[in-house]
Structure 1
Amino acid sequence: MVRKLSACETMGSATTICTDKTGTLTLNKMTVTKFFVGKEHIKAESNTSISAKVLELFHQGVGLNTTGSVFKSTDSCSSFEFSGSPTEKAILSWAVLKLNMDMDQVKRNFDILHVETFNSEKKKSGVLIKNITDGTIHAHWKGAAEMISRMCSHYYDREGNIKPLEESDKVECDRIIEGMAASSLRCIAFAHKQVTKAEQEDHEHMHGNVPENSFILLGFVGLKDPCRPGVKKAVEDCQNAGVNIKMITGDNVFTAKAIATECGILHPNLEVDEGAVIEGEEFRNLTDEARMERVEKIRVMARSSPFDKLLMVQCLRKKGHVVAVTGDGTNDAPALKEADIGLSMGIQGTEVAKESSDIVILDDNFSSVATVLKWGRCVYNNIQKFIQFQLTVNVAALVINFVAAVSAGEVPLTAVQLLWVNLIMDTLGALALATEKPTEELIKKKPVGRTAPLITNVMWRNLMAQALYQIAVLLTLQFKGESIFDVNKKVNDTLIFNTFVLCQVFNEFNARNLEKKNVFEGIHKNKLFMAIIGITLVLQVVMVEFLKKFANTERLNWGQWGICIGFAAASWPIGWLVKCITVPERPIFSYLRLNKRCYNE
């Protein structure tokens, strides 16, 4: 859904796309596929081997430290419905179906004293609870595995024994986290501690922040969020179009690398992408010079915050890139506004993100982002086609009338005829060229960029060739037409007018392709173009043959119509020959600026 029309054209010039991972590159349908108690891997079918104490602590950590909910389905007493974020729903579903958690019972047994909600800076959420039966107070944390494990000094084994977390154990925990991340799993850790009486007397711990030190590690879960079908092809298409894809995610660096490799953003051989992966904190702490030097090499930013995303967009824009950004959260609003094109998510996106964006991706799919890029290129290209076509009309008309007025004191094209030409060329011509659909050749081109001129050297070559041909033909008819074709002045003026209009109609075919020689390729697919050409020709016949008084024309015979069509049709071979001439990519006016600068020096 396009909220700002100009964004379509801008997207055609995009050089970099900064995309989220969850829900955009992936399906955002998470399931728990791995489970560890402490350092021990637990099979899904072997949950009975876990002690009741550890299970109870997991029930507390999942059921009370969550923003989701569990409902019993009305259709069946044995089935459940889950609400919340995809991560919360996956963990709740796993706890209820695999760990036999009764969420209502857990809530009845405990009072919640304080909640620390999840945020993108801390990457974790916490809760302080009181056991109604014995009055003991417990704290639970859940979040990014490496951050939770740093808070822990001990860990539980499957029998419920508490063991000290030695250096070797920490290394083992890191290996578990990295192993899950390498398998494209999001690793979530759980930690617990019973608050001591001394801590209970501390008002800040009771009613302020949840304590964050000396916790006991409960274990880890690995959540699988598969890549969307077709996302790798979409990323490849964008890269072939010369657009850099940068993935910005809150996941740890190992998960980010695995997903980016799976999507085609990184190469399987990471040595090829040296310096392409960075963490948000490292990027944030770089000096301005180092950040500007490195920003173009980065393809993946892990453990990033919304500020890191905004900082990257600002750096890329300073480097001259045209930046598109995807976002779904309220915190993404600054980056969406800062970007040249803000793309919000229609399903997971918040209203704040949507209001800050230019285009809403209704299916939250990166393939749709690639489609926006393709159609943006098409819109930009169609604008160029129409500008080339319209400039040809205006240059020819201006030169013909000016030369005729200066030399003979009268103009061959009357005011009504010029208005007619502008009417059919500005409306029907624009509609015909604007209906061209994207082609594979278009998406394979390099992006235009921020400073590239709208009128390229190719366009100047095409329009000048056609304009010069039309001027030569029409001035010849103006000064020699009466004697060449043995007609009176009024018929000769009608020949000039009819030839001029038909030249524009035939030149519309040339304008369909700025560079390709075969201007008829794919024309059968654009039925609207052919219909508009047909309507234009019918209106021109009516103008010449039946509206003589209004248009100041004279009826033409079949031979005279054939002459006009012959002159107009010659624009096709001329267009073909002109496209054999190569032109430099550097804008022609840049040479004039260079010469002026050299002269001044």
Structure 2
Amino acid sequence: MNWYTLTVEEIFDELDGGPDGLDPETAEKRRERVGPNEITGDSGRSPLRIFLAQFERALIWVLLVAAVLSFAIGHVVDAVLIGIILLLNGVFGFVQEYRAEQSLEALRDMASPTVTVRRDGTELEVDATDLVPGDIVLLGQGDVVPADGRLVASENLEVDEAPLTGESVPVEKTTGTVEAETPLAERKNAVYKGTNVTRGRGVAVVVETGMDTEMGEIATALIGAEDPRTPLQRDLDRLGRRLGIGVVALSALIVPLLLIGGKGVVQAGLTAVSLAVAAVPEGLPAVVTLTLALGVRRMADENALVRTLPAVEALGAVDVVCTDKTGTLTEGEMRVQTAWVSDTAVDVGSDDGIGADGDVTDRLDQLFEIGAVCNDATAEEGDPTERALVAAAADHGIDVEARRESRSRRDEVPFSSERKRMATIHDDVVYVKGAPAVVLERSSRVLGPDGPVDLDEKARADIEAQVESFAEDALRVLGFAYKDRSDDGGPEENLVFVGLQGLLDPPRPEVRDAIADTHRAGIEVKMITGDNAATARAIAADIGIESAVLTGQEVEELDDETLRERVEEVDVYARAEPTHKVRILRALQANGAAVAMTGDGVNDAPALKNADVGIAMGIRGTDVAKQASDIVLLDDNYTSIRTAIQRGRTIFDNIWKFVAYLLSANAAEVAIVFLASLFGYLILPAVQLLWINLLTDGLPALALGTDPGGDVMQREPREQATGIIDRDMLGFVGGAGLIATVLLLGLMFYTLDGAASVTPYAMTMVFTGLVVFEFVKLYVVRWTRETPVLTNPWLGVAVAASLLLQLAVLYTPLNEYFGTVPLDIADWGVLGAVLLLGTPALLLVGWLIRRHAAGERAATSPRRASDSPDAKVD
């Protein structure tokens, strides 16, 4: 029901209540019927749920099947090794995500614990959860509104609704009715659960409680929302399914062929298991998880707390960032931006006029004194606008407390929405501040360079023009005046008009550069705010977002198809409500965009939950927003988003390198085992293949995850449809796999020297040759992605350690378990010759891929063909 459209009497009739409130018995019965006044829902992921989530990928299930098959045919060591890999992968992922979840555990109930309520004509304190529709609640400065209510009485009441609407300025509240189509941010006769009273007093009749409140509706939307799969999760699932199908197809082909060729069932089974082990990159899930975990640790040091590991890579893949304004792009606090005194406007943030000698400084001193003394706030507490006036006076060099003591207050006429001004009466003077038109109307003189002069029509027109100019810059403008008490007339008549102060919630100083960087990276930035269109347009232009403005009401009037067209053109949205933000998000996603949503308020939570990556503010952010997000910025700084995007892109680059590295190794292993089996040789048994995968997929692959980023922020975002296994990777996997297969099959036949069955010597040569070939390929795959050779000392350490482990299975008693024999110097010479033949061919494959990748990066993304990022930055 649109309660805000009804009169107070109609609401009392609807709720069977009255101005004296409900009687206790009625209230208790009603509470039993409607339930407690609290927000319920998902309290977070349980430890068991987090742990089981680590095993939901298709690739993990393929590995589980390989482990079961290995155990079934008696290869217990192989099965145990696969099991250990899977367990470690689960533990690594669990530890990281559980830590993030624990760090965000906080009370999400934003209502005050107790509230003053009138029941049966008596005022008493009750628990906020006991409120029911029909209760009469009393509100005062500093209170948190405990439920949605319709105002019965209001005395200078202002409410900060930023957590719900995104509106940066407290809203004045009245008791009249408003139209049905009035947006939430403009319903001045209603108060909402979870918002804060910043000024005045009010009485409200409760109309909705618990999950029926505006905040409750948001919580309901969150409960029903599912976390979208990240590009990396989708790619790994797709890879797992394809590998599973490939293993089954290869086994179905090779087993009959071997049986027809006269091989026994055991030999055919061993070959099938070897193919399965060769096809599956056992280390891939663990290496991906550990690489993401390393990224999480670095991002935490850079003030970004990651709640789910895949979100790291997903952030690097986004091509649109939808961001709230208040507290995210702006500082979240009102500031005096500009002051004006008789023909002179000065930027409060600069040295022009402020602190200078002469009459301008004297008049500015008078202006700022009025703002500080005709004021009930301190620098830390009170109405945000009044706090800003105190801060401006202090920045001007005024000792606010000393001035207030010297101008002791004898009386005051408080501000009200009807009067639109405040006056304080002192021993010899009256100070007035308020809406410029109201103050100007009561002024007969203006303070000029040589003192007060008559306020003629030209002077009035000049002041009105200045007010209009400030308003065009989206500034909230206040007028200031004084009067000697000895002058004729009442305390607010025949005033001397001193000047104006223009206030704004200013952009963070570093935001413009951060947005320019994201634009250069091919990422669109869309600002979605609850503020009015003029403020939104001015702030957007100031931070480098040039765009038409679309209001929430206009979004509501568009059908889905038209909205999909408009979101490609519009980057600034004003007066947006939660439903509008989700519609904008879904329209962008329907157009193929990967969207990151940043925000801090309750109103941001549904969009954070449904976005590809939800980014909440850690300081100003509500607990609801944090619980709905994937990443929490610990410093609320937009530059941390830019850094996080760079980190995500770097991580994707590193994942690309070791996925290409691992898959090319597995492609070579499958091809060697398959082709050798056609000649009747089981050249690489499962235990050796597992060792190769552990050795090459372990430390060296993990070291790739520590590679520093290159020019990742100079590239367009990758296309989602392409996935991590793109054309370049397929080219590298195919080319490197083919080179390894040809060289090592040649080595096999050379070392077999016509033998009818595989000898331990031939097996050892092929086994060791594949290992050392992989170490050479490590450096080639890095060169392919334009990573400087000497920037990762950990890679050299990893290769050295892996080589020592390989030597251990050749020259220690471990060779008994691996079926290997020691090699002499001549054998190593043969292996060196193989590497000399293969390395130039590998470099040729890498060079071709580098050329293709450079051409791809030079092309503009289809989504941005008509929207150059450079144009936006300028």
Matches within 5 A, 1:224-263: 227-250=507-530, 253=533, 256-263=536-543
Tell me how far 1:415 sits from its aligned partner.
2.6
Aligned counterpart for 1:6 among listed residues 310, 335, 340: 310
Give CA-to-partner distance per residue, 1:363-415, whole Å, 9 cap, x none. 2222211111111112222222222112112222122222222321x411123
How big is each residue's C-alpha offset from its partner over 1:387-445, in whole Å with a ceiling of 9 and x where there is no partner? Answer: 2112112222122222222321x4111232112112123322331221112112x2222
CA contact (8 A) 1:466 1:571 kept: no
- 1:510 — aligned with what? 780
Summarize the alignment of residues 45-124 of structure 1 with structure 2, pairs less than 5 Å apart: 63=375, 69=378, 82-83=380-381, 89-94=387-392, 102=404
Q: CA deviation at 1:577?
A: 1.3
CA distance in 2, matches of 1:300, 1:58: 33
| Cα deviations by residue, 1:207-261 (Å, 9 ceiling, x for unpaired) | xxxxxxxxxx998532366654554433222112211122334555555445444
The 8 Å contact of residues 189 and 218 in structure 1, kept in 2 or not, is answered as: no
Structure 1 CA distance, aligned partners of 2:528 and 2:823?
A: 67
Of the structure 1 ranges 226-235 and 469-478, higher mean CA displacement relative to structure 2 is found in: 226-235
C-alpha spacing 1:535/1:456, structure 2 compared with 1 (3 Å) = same
Cα distance, 1:456 vs structure 2: 0.4
Task: Determine whether 1:564 maps to 2:831.
Answer: yes
Counterpart pick for 1:176 among 467, 471, 475: 467
Matching residue of 1:531:
797
Q: Aligned in 2, Cα 1:303/1:567: closer, same or farther, shift over 3 Å?
A: same
Q: 1:332 aligns with which of 583, 604, 608?
A: 604
Quote the Cα distance in structure 1 between the aligned partners of 2:852 and 2:369: 75
Hey, what does 2:338 align to over in structure 1?
Answer: 34
1:42-75 Cα distance to aligned partner (Å, 9 max, x none): 998779879x9x9999779x745xxx645xxxxx
**Structure 1 position 11, deviation (Å):** 0.8
Mapping of 1:224-373 within 5 angstroms? 227-250=507-530, 253=533, 256-266=536-546, 276-281=547-552, 283-288=554-559, 289-302=561-574, 304-305=576-577, 307-373=579-645
Q: What is the CA–CA distance in structure 2 between the aligned matches of 1:303 and 1:386, rounded to whole Å?
A: 46
Residue of structure 2 in register with 1:386 after alignment: 658
Q: How many residues align?
A: 509
How many angstroms apart in 2 are the aligned matches of 1:412 and 1:126?
93
Q: Partners in 2 of 1:242 and 1:38 — Cα distance?
A: 47
SS of residue in 1 equivalent to 2:765: helix
The amino acid of 1:10's aligned partner reads A
Q: Structure 1: which 5+ runs fail to align?
A: 71-81, 117-124, 133-139, 142-147, 161-165, 193-216, 267-275, 587-601
Which stretch of the first structure deviates more once superposed, 425-434 or 93-102?
A: 93-102
1:576 Cα deviation (Å)? 2.2
Q: Give 1:531 shift.
A: 1.0
CA distance in 2 between counterparts of 1:179 and 1:302 reads: 19
The worse-fitting range, judged by mean Cα deviation, of 328-337 and 363-372 is: 328-337
Distance 2:745 2:572 in 1: 62
What amino acid does structure 1 have at the position aligned with 2:750?
K
CA distance in 2, matches of 1:430, 1:87: 56
2-side partners of 1:404 and 1:535: how far apart?
A: 30
Q: Displacement, 1:464?
A: 0.5
1:482 correspondence with 2:752:
yes
Rounded to whole Å, the distance in 2 between the matches of 1:219 and 1:466 is: 75
Structure 1: which amino acid aligns with 2:848?
C
Bigger shift: residues 170-179 or 507-516: 170-179
**Does the residue aligned with 2:829 lie in a helix, a strand or coil?**
helix
TM-score, scaled to structure 1: 0.70
2:693 is aligned to: 422
CA distance in structure 2 between the aligned counterparts of 1:150 and 1:353, rounded to whole angstroms: 40
Contact 1:115 1:127 in 2 (8 A): yes
Provide closer, same or farther for how the CA distance between residues 237 and 55 of structure 1 changes in structure 2, counting only shifts above 3 A.
Answer: closer
Letter in 1 for 2:839: W
1:34 to 1:480, Cα distance in 2 relative to 1, 3 A: closer
Which one of the candidate residues 723, 729, 736 is aligned to 1:459?
729
Check conservation: 2:446, 2:498, Cα contact below 8 A.
no
Q: Is the 8 A contact 1:322 1:449 kept in 2?
A: no
Q: How far apart are 1:355 and its partner, in Å? A: 2.2
Query: Is the 8 Å Cα contact of residues 779 and 789 (structure 2) preserved in structure 1?
Result: no
Change (3 A) 1:484 1:352: same
Distance 2:592 2:553 in 1: 23
Q: 1:33 to 1:3 in 2, by over 3 A?
A: same
Q: Residue type matched to 2:803 in 1?
A: L
Residue 153 of structure 1 and its aligned partner are, at CA, apart by 12
- What is the CA distance between 1:348 and its match in structure 2? 2.6
Contact 1:40 1:158 in 2 (8 A): no
Structure 1 Cα separation of the partners of residues 515 and 423 of structure 2: 50
Aligned with 1:431 (options 692, 696, 702):
702
Query: Contact 2:688–2:767 at 8 Å: present in 1 too?
Result: yes
How far the C-alpha of 1:457 sits from its partner, in A, is 0.6
Q: What percentage of residue pairs aligned between the two structures are identical?
A: 31
Deviation at 1:505, TM superposition (A): 1.5
CA distance 1:23–1:512, change in 2 (3 Å): same
Contact 2:330 2:507 in 1 (8 A): yes
1: CA distance between counterparts of 2:363 and 2:312?
58
- Asked if the contact 1:324–1:341 (Cα under 8 Å) also holds between the matched residues in 2, the reply is yes
Quote the Cα distance in structure 1 between the aligned partners of 2:463 and 2:759.
Answer: 98
Specify the code of the residue in structure 2 equivalent to 1:528.
W
- Residue 758 of structure 2 corresponds to residue 492 of structure 1: no
Preserved CA contact (<8 Å) 1:506 1:571: no
Quote the offset at 1:453 in angstroms.
2.5
CA deviation after TM superposition for structure 1 residue 16, in Å: 0.6
Which string of whole-angstrom CA distances, capped at 9 and with x for unpartnered residues, describes residues 178-210 of structure 1? 44654xx73244799xxxxxxxxxxxxxxxxxx
Q: Is this contact kept in 1: 2:321–2:524, CA < 8 A?
A: yes
Find out whether 1:17 has 2:288 as its counterpart.
Answer: no
Which amino acid in the other structure matches residue 469 of structure 1?
A: I
TM-score normalised by L of structure 2: 0.50
Q: SS of the counterpart of 1:343?
A: strand
Flag the 1:425–1:308 CA change in 2: closer, same or farther, 3 A: same
- Give RMSD over aligned pairs: 4.8
Q: Which segment is superposed worse, 455-464 or 307-316? A: 307-316
**Counterpart code for 2:747:** L
Whole-angstrom CA distance in 2 between matches of 1:90 and 1:528: 52
1:94 to partner: Cα distance? 3.8
Match for 1:187: what amino acid?
Answer: R
CA–CA separation in structure 1 for the residues paired with 2:421 and 2:476:
23
Contact 2:537 2:549 in 1 (8 A): no
Q: Secondary structure at 2:775's aligned position in 1?
A: helix
Query: Does residue 549 of the first structure (1) align with residue 840 of the second (2)?
Result: no
- Distance, in Å, in 2 between the alignment partners of 1:126 and 1:491 is 99
Say yes or no: does 1:223 pair with 2:489.
no
Is 1:395 aligned with 2:675?
A: no
Aligned to 2:794, the other structure's residue is in SS state helix
TM-superposed CA distance for 1:497, in Å, is: 0.6
Change (3 A) 1:405 1:251: same
Structure 1 stretch displaced more, 550-559 or 342-351: 342-351
Q: Deviations over 1:81-129 (max 9, x none)?
A: x2468755323334687696749999995799x999xxxxxxxx99999
Shift of 1:533: 1.1
Q: 630, 646, 649: which is aligned to 1:377?
A: 649
